[in-house]
Structure 1
């Protein structure tokens, strides 16, 4: 288990527990001390994880052992059939998608996919999609619409790939085209942030009738480090930037950007893949049970109204006509 900096006190206790278990020749001798340390570790974990800062939640969202899209697909779906290619350029490995069933509910499930080691991270381009990834998602969503199948998207990306070749192939256009399409898609869309939700890279497959975030994730127009580098010309103020951006699930629920928060196992989703997947599955089924009752025109109206009502604005009025 890999520990983050703020988890070090927990790591020290668990290391001591492991050492005592290794040297124990008689369970009765050291068992009381081991039980005491386990209880203390549990209390410490609860204390730490109920008082996390925004930056600490950003760190948890990036935890290298956190479950990714394919981990959730493996645990919550049956008969997953991955579909490849955008029919324009190539198959982008940073976005995976295909047909599956969740219990008896057919879905088109699409999400960003990161890698676990150097080789797989390069293969998945660190979860940063090229235009062909968004065009693949576009194709799959239109296929779902044709067969009247709900769409489920899982968001986890540090952003769309910013390379020159991506811009040459129309990165911005591909994302904008997806947003235009998703706004009027005639089937339910449920979007869930399972890790990082950065900028257009996330929203490119993230417009939904209902949008949820897992407890220890973030969703923002810019990453804290990038924000810090713009405002202070250095990454050193990333924690202050995270506080100012308010990118956590709790923040965005208060701002009415998302519809709810999916709880995680204590210590983060990486602590218990099964429990995290069950929570995601339960929310998907609950949302689809409600959305499946809505007619296509009502789904579109609800989705458009949802995004049109976000934010605060004022309308400037001209001088009154006295004639």
Structure 2
């Protein structure tokens, strides 16, 4: 469940509880008793990318996201100092700390908002939601921050809705289309083509199994870590060719002749349909997570846009 991830909790709790709870209570719900928040934003992004089997863009993470981790860390430190009965902060200290966190968060938010990649959107959702908590805390000390909270929460909610749609759009584009091969008995080539690098068939022969036909197709996983892993090959079950008139041997190996292609045309069509179903299942595994995230974002966005202090 996306709601149980770090980012899911931040989005959900800042949306649901931002008006009902004091800021330190929301911070406590999100982070619990954990103090290892130094890499929290990075871990939040990595956790979601792992769920959707997306290879992390490490160069982007290092250049643009590494510095964002301090916002979460400082919010937790603020909560710990706020709740420490032996070292109570006065309001001036609290406001000074929170204003610095808010300023850093806004700078980071604006820097990340221009990126349309998954890592940038996840990090921006994270930082933007944490800034809402920060402004909520400031509004508890000074009423004038209530207007800033309302304006920013409305702005972030509107942006987040668009970002949620963008996440779905990017995910849909992460899986390429199936390969194409014209399995045509009327092909003019001699011998008929057996396919290409992305789609086609093979005919193999040995004395034990005889002649066997196997169809193949593939699609590209554009989020795979390497070029080699990007190509997802789908194979049919091997089909025993019982009629020796259906195949022949050419200079490049065995192939189906025109009668053979006619005989197995329906089998090929069935395979293509199943291969497309497999591709869609692969994509659906990713979309299930992202569409769950989209619903979560949209729900919290409605709450953010309705904030009234």
Query: What TM-score range do you get, normalising by the shorter chain?
Result: under 0.3
Task: Return the TM-score normalized by structure 2.
Answer: 0.25
Which of the pair is proportionally richer in helix?
2
TM-score w.r.t. length of structure 1: 0.25
